[in-house]
């Protein structure tokens, strides 16, 4: 049986990833993975809706109506948030922007897709863990086992550096500097690298963890699965969910909470903020492109707001106290 010849769509997708993203824009592996997942979901949805195998899909099949139906599917059937929906749309727009250059005959259709607006998202209150909850999660890992050492090192790394999950799983052992000054080279979004200091506790944990790895794995990916392959996002989420579920037995506040790697990133930011670290430094550590993103942590810091309100009430009460001149002469002057 002969294999079906790929359509022109396949060539456009390949050139989008190989030429547009990788060669021209020098997109990071995390960005490429995000765009790949978005287009894969779109192709699977289109194939099912049009009763065609993905390889038989053509550019004209992915019209505006189908993309809109796909976006509704993401929210209503997959339960994606508005932010996730908008992120998928951004990936689709990027692809069709490439189509306008690579396939002039599809420009009109591509422009109709490019005109699809993003949805306005309601910003949620930033959620984070307190010190007791972090300690409870870390305590569930049995460091007498190889898996427990990996899980403990990984969660501690996330909560002490504020790394994105994509950054954490991309780190190689060679990106670590475990001699003074201890630090790690992070490969951030948009191919922007940054150096993040490692606190003594984390540096010691990582040093011990690396030494305990099999000799053949001491130069490759830092965090690996049981087969020695680089951990995936799914793997990290699974490890964290399992640990939180176990920790909930001793920390009731964790019961029913959805604790994700990104929530640990929020935890790092709030811990630094409450410790008096300035926003510029927090932005540098977390690798935020926009100052606005970092300011959201200030808005979410209830304890700092409470302290400010308490201080204001204290100052107001002090201002209302009646001034009593300490001397009769001063009292006379007060009456003049």
Whether the predicted model's global pTM rises above the 0.85 cut: no
pLDDT at site 318: 47
Q: Are 99 and 110 in contact (CB under 8 A)?
A: yes
pLDDT at site 313: 53
pLDDT at site 282: 85
Structure confidence at residue 30 as a pLDDT band (50, 70, 90): confident
In the chain, where the domains are located:
8-114, 131-302
pLDDT at site 297: 66
Tens of pLDDT, residue by residue over 158-209, are: 999 999 999 999 999 999 999 999 999 998 776 688 999 999 999 999 999 9
Q: What mean pLDDT is predicted for residues 261-283?
A: 87
Q: What mean pLDDT is predicted for residues 22-48?
A: 86
Rg (CA), the chain: 27
Q: What mean pLDDT is predicted for residues 302-313?
A: 56
Domain 131-302 has CATH 1.10.443.10: yes
Is pLDDT at 6 greater than 70 in this prediction? no
Q: 20 Cβ partners below 8 Å, 6+ apart?
A: 94, 98
Tens of pLDDT, residue by residue over 249-260, are: 989 999 988 899
Catalytically active residues are 164, 189, 262, 265, 288, 297
Is pLDDT at 155 greater than 90 in this prediction? yes
Distance CA 129, CA 261 (A): 11
Distance CA 259, CA 159 (A): 12
pLDDT at site 303: 56
Per-residue HEC secondary structure of 264-333 comes to: HHHHHHHHHHHCCCCHHHHHHHHCCCCHHHHHHHHHHCHHHHHHHHHHHHHHHHHHHCCCCCCCHHHHHH
Tens of pLDDT, residue by residue over 90-137, are: 999 999 999 999 999 999 999 999 999 998 876 666 788 999 999 999
């Amino acid at each position: 049986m002969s294999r079906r010849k790929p359509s022109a769509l396949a060539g456009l997708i390949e050139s989008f990833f190989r030429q547009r993203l990788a060669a021209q824009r020098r997109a990071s592996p995390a960005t490429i993975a995000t765009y790949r997942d978005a287009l894969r979901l779109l192709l699977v949805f289109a194939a099912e809706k049009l009763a065609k195998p993905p390889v038989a899909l053509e550019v004209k099949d992915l019209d505006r109506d189908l993309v809109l139906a796909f976006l509704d599917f993401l929210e209503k059937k997959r339960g994606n948030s508005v932010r996730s929906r908008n992120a998928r749309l951004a990936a689709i727009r990027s692809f069709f922007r490439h189509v306008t250059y690579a396939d002039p005959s599809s420009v009109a259709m591509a422009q109709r897709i490019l005109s699809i607006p993003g949805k306005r998202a309601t910003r949620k209150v930033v959620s984070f863990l307190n010190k007791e909850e972090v300690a409870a999660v870390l305590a569930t890992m049995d460091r007498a086992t190889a898996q427990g050492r990996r899980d403990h090192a990984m969660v501690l790394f996330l909560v002490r550096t504020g790394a994105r999950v994509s950054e954490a799983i991309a780190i190689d052992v060679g990106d670590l500097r475990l001699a003074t000054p201890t630090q790690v080279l992070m490969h951030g979004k948009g191919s922007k690298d940054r150096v993040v200091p490692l606190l003594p506790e984390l540096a010691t944990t990582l040093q011990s963890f690396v030494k305990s790895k099999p000799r053949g794995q001491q130069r490759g990916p830092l965090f690996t699965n049981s087969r020695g392959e680089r951990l995936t996002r799914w793997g990290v989420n699974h490890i964290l969910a399992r640990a939180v579920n176990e920790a909930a037995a001793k920390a009731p506040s964790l019961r029913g909470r959805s604790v994700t790697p990104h929530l640990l990133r929020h935890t790092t930011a709030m811990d630094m903020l409450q410790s008096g670290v300035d926003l510029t430094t927090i932005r540098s550590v977390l690798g935020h492109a926009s100052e606005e993103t970092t300011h959201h942590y200030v808005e979410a810091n209830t304890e700092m707001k409470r302290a400010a309100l308490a201080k204001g009430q204290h100052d107001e009460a002090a201002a209302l106290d009646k001034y009593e001149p300490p001397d009769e002469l001063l009292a006379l002057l007060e009456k003049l």
